[in-house]
Structure 1
Amino acid sequence: MLDKRQRALQMLGLARRAGKLITGEEGVLKKVRAQKVQIVFVASDGSEGTKKKFIDKCKSYQININCDFTHQELSLAIGANRTVLAIDDLGFSKKIMMLLS
């Protein structure tokens, strides 16, 4: 049986295949500023500058942020080498937040 963290990572992969995942710093930052995303994921082992930038932006726009997964975990989940991800679908976001709470 998979634990909730693993299920959340699987949901990230599913969101990518469904076209509901935004990847990369610039793309995610643009969507955060437009308030078009529900939750942002930043790798826990990403640079301090990147983490601070996204934590501050998400806080100011009242967007959920998660820094619990490593770069490797996020990259393996979506099949691409990324440090910053965001989900722009309410259904996927709610399910992942429920799994991580």
Structure 2
Amino acid sequence: MSDEEARRLLHSRHFCIDRLVEVKAELGRLQAEDLELKSKLDGAEEVEAGDMRRRRRHLSRRLNELKAERAALAVELQESTDKLKMIHQA
């Protein structure tokens, strides 16, 4: 593989690592917000409870999106790492 390919793989690897850290932080923040809303839901007025349920549905969708992104990033990171190892062994 060329130096350009190695540079591309390194860039991909660094991007994945950086984005995984961001995704992990966002997942934690959204999960905490969801738990807080869940705990407040029981004592909420009907209108407020409806708003909380809508927000929780949105959070659920966003959490699923982030989990899918995290899985895709992990695969890309592993592929980049494996290809870089092959380059260094050659």
TM-score of Structure 1 vs Structure 2, range by shorter chain: under 0.3
The structure with the greater share of residues assigned to strand is 1
Which protein has greater RCO, CA pairs closer than 8 Å, 6+ apart?
2
The structure with the greater share of residues assigned to helix is 2
TM-score of the pair, normalised by structure 2: 0.27
TM-score of the pair, normalised by structure 1: 0.24
